[in-house]
């Protein structure tokens, strides 16, 4: 469960990260703040490339930063996005690829906070945004890395 002070801190981080976005092609700036189970926050922004394929969404930037620092348990993510240099007019939701990355590392109750400002936001769960997901959590015959490593140790 994420408390109100964590939500505020996450949204503030996402708004700050949005300002660091590199989006010269879409002009759509996104910032994120990923909260780990132990309370650390990893910020991210979208980073575009002229070829578009090598571009990276802000959500995945946060996840990849946290995972590369050794974190694999997450509680929630705050997302703030909209036209670069302007106030967001709508809530920014994660794209399908980012939802799939979230499903790889998070359970259905993972919180996704979509914010326009630190006082105007809505919260959904991963299960609401990606129902019946294809993930290592509950797929028959699919084992997570941790489960595979545990079996090796036996």
Torsion of CA 92, 114, 87, 15, to 10 degrees: -110
* C-beta atoms surrounding 81 within 10 Å: 28
Asked about 147 being catalytic, the answer comes back as: no
Residue pair 33/62 in contact (Cβ under 8 Å)? The answer is yes
Query: DSSP code of 52?
Result: S
Q: Report d(CA 18, CA 16) in Å as an integer.
A: 5
**Can you point out the beta strands (E) in 37-109?**
41-45, 74-83
Residue pair 113/8 in contact (Cβ under 8 Å)? The answer is no
The enclosing H or E element of 4 equals: helix 4-18
Catalytic residue among 59, 104, 147, 153: 59
The catalytic residue positions are: 59
């Amino acid at each position: 469960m994420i408390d109100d002070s964590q939500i505020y801190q996450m949204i503030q981080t996402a708004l700050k990260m949005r300002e660091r976005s590199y989006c010269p092609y879409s002009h759509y700036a996104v910032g994120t703040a990923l909260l780990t189970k132990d309370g650390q926050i990893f910020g991210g922004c979208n980073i575009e490339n002229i070829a578009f394929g090598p571009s990276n969404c802000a959500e995945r930037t946060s996840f990849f930063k946290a995972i590369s620092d050794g974190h694999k348990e997450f509680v929630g993510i705050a997302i703030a996005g909209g036209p670069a240099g302007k106030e967001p007019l709508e809530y920014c939701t994660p794209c399908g690829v980012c939802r799939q990355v979230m499903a790889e590392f998070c359970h259905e109750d993972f919180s996704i906070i979509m914010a326009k400002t630190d006082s105007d936001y809505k919260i959904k769960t991963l299960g609401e945004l990606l129902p019946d997901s294809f993930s290592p959590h509950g797929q028959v015959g699919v084992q997570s890395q941790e489960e595979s490593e545990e079996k090796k140790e036996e």
